[in-house]
Each structure stands twice: as structure tokens, then as C-alpha cells.
Amino acid sequence: AQSVTQPDIHITVSEGASLELRCNYSYGATPYLFWYVQSPGQGLQLLLKYFSGDTLVQGIKGFEAEFKRSQSSFNLRKPSVHWSDAAEYFCALNQGGKLIFGQGTELSVKP
């Protein structure tokens, strides 16, 4: 069955440090993958998406993600985290027009 796994429930990084949030997927064909961010009490904002082509995808707010088919991964990265990046991050897979979400990773940023 298709699924999305975010192994890290909670991550804390220092402001200015680099960030990598992990996402693994299970899907038979070429996946359409997304990263969304959710601030407390808010909806989801699309950070970036991968459909095909270049496996390194650039998104908003300085985020990027790399699709690695051999590892079934789509990890999100940012070279320097800002305090405003503290939020919940969701990786999602498109299956037949519906989104399958990972469990989410809560990011805390310490000064």
C-alpha cells in the first residue's frame, strides 16, 4: 500500500543551523510529492513539489528538497533556519488525486 513516513516526530535546531527533515514514501510508480508547512492553528502552505525532471526542487522561504528514487526519499532541507521556521511540516504523496500525508515533523528553533 502507498504510504508516507516521516521518521522524526520532533526536531529542534538552533537558529542559523542547517535543517533536514526526512520523508520516505512507498509507491509503485513515479510519485508526485509535496512538502507543506503548517503554523499553529493555521492551514497548510505549499513549500514545494516534485512531479518529474530535476530531482532537486527549490521552494519558497529558502527550502529545497531532493527526490531520490533509489532511497524512496524526498527530504526537505534549508541551509540556515530562522526562528520563524518553527512549525509543523508535512510530506505528502499524490495518489489518484488524493494526498497521502506523513505523520508530520514538528520543528522547534532555539535561539
Q: Which residues bind another protein (CB under 8 A)?
A: 32, 34, 36, 41-46, 49, 51, 90, 94, 97-99, 101-104, 106
Say if strands 105-110 and 19-21 run parallel, antiparallel, or are unpaired: unpaired
* Measured distance CA(82)–CA(56) in Å, rounded: 22
Q: Is the CB of 71 or the CB of 103 nearer to another protein?
A: 103
* Measured distance CA(52)–CA(58) in Å, rounded: 13
Q: Is the CB of 98 or the CB of 111 nearer to another protein?
A: 98
Closest approach, Cβ 30 to another protein, in A, equals: 12
Cell 502507498 sits on residue: 2
Q: Is the CB of 4 or the CB of 13 nearer to another protein?
A: 4
